[in-house]
Amino acid sequence: MENKDNIRVVVAGEEHKKYVTEINDTIQRASEERGTGIARRTDEYILTKMEEGKAVIAIDGDKFAGFCYIESWSHNKFVANSGLIVAPQYRGVGLAKRIKQKAFELSRKKFPDAKIFGLTTGLAVMKINSELGYKPVTFSELTDDEAFWKGCQSCVNYDILMRTKRTKCLCTAMLFDPQWEQKKNEKTQQEGKLISFKKWLKNKHASGYIEPFSAKLKRVMNIVTPNDFLKHKQENALGSM
């Protein structure tokens, strides 16, 4: 096991093309060890991902340590972090988590509105995904892009996927939807405003003055009151004369 302190995890570029064959060999050996039989990508495909800035690589000095790349589907509505691999001598030091985190951040940057998903049978990957905000979902919530599902053909469990009409397999489907984060932030903001309003109301009670409730709602919660609506309507009517 190598020392993890010297390992850099960066977005792959032209300077890393010398590792392409080693990356592909490592992915193939790992799939054979797991018995999944995932198809080997061509060296040209991996190189293209590097040139497009859609890959993450882990380097220890000048030695290859790990890799992951980004694929987009359904006109960029869905994104998958694929080919996650760690060289055998660097396993067990948390490197997969660092690579996955970097690939996730890169996916959010390049495709901010896309749903990020993955299929996995590995408990460690499921745990990492959960920490990043992924949730287990049914296969029906994933991309319907035929090109993606075609990539499962070389897997030994492909017959299960087909027998269930692509509704389930031995893999667990996990998804991150950026809208979940947006809704969470909006809820937090509204809760913050409500707390602010309650504190203000408490202070006004203590001072003996209470501002009209509708006025406070307007200022704190940004809610349009019925009087505001009528006033706005009247102003528009006058302006159109």
Do 126 and 73 lie in one domain? The reply is yes
Q: How many domains does the chain have?
A: 2
Do 165 and 194 lie in one domain? The reply is no
> Domain containing 215: what range?
183-239
In 10 A of CB 170, how many CB atoms? Answer: 12
Do 233 and 126 lie in one domain? The reply is no
108: tokens are 């959010």
Rg, C-alpha atoms of the chain: 26
Do 136 and 229 lie in one domain? The reply is no
Do 12 and 86 lie in one domain? The reply is yes
In this structure, are residues 57 and 19 in contact, taking their beta carbons and an 8 Å threshold? yes
Do 147 and 188 lie in one domain? The reply is no
Domain endpoint, select from 122, 153, 176:
176
Do 162 and 190 lie in one domain? The reply is no
148: tokens are 């993606």
Do 234 and 138 lie in one domain? The reply is no
List, as one string, the DSSP characters of 147-193.
Answer: HHHHTTTTSTTHHHHHHTTTS--SSEEEEE-HHHHHHHHHHHHHHHH
In this structure, are residues 13 and 50 in contact, taking their beta carbons and an 8 Å threshold? yes
Do 131 and 229 lie in one domain? The reply is no
List, as one string, the DSSP characters of 117-145.
Answer: EEEE--HHHHHHHHHHT-EEE-GGGS---
Do 14 and 107 lie in one domain? The reply is yes
Domain endpoint, select from 176, 206, 226:
176
Do 17 and 112 lie in one domain? The reply is yes
Per-residue pLDDT of the chain (241 residues; tens, 9 = 90+): 556 678 999 999 999 999 999 999 998 888 777 766 566 788 999 999 999 999 999 999 999 999 999 999 999 999 999 989 999 999 999 999 999 999 999 999 999 999 999 998 888 889 999 999 999 999 999 999 998 998 888 788 889 999 999 999 989 999 999 997 777 766 677 777 777 767 767 776 666 655 566 666 666 566 555 555 556 556 655 555 5
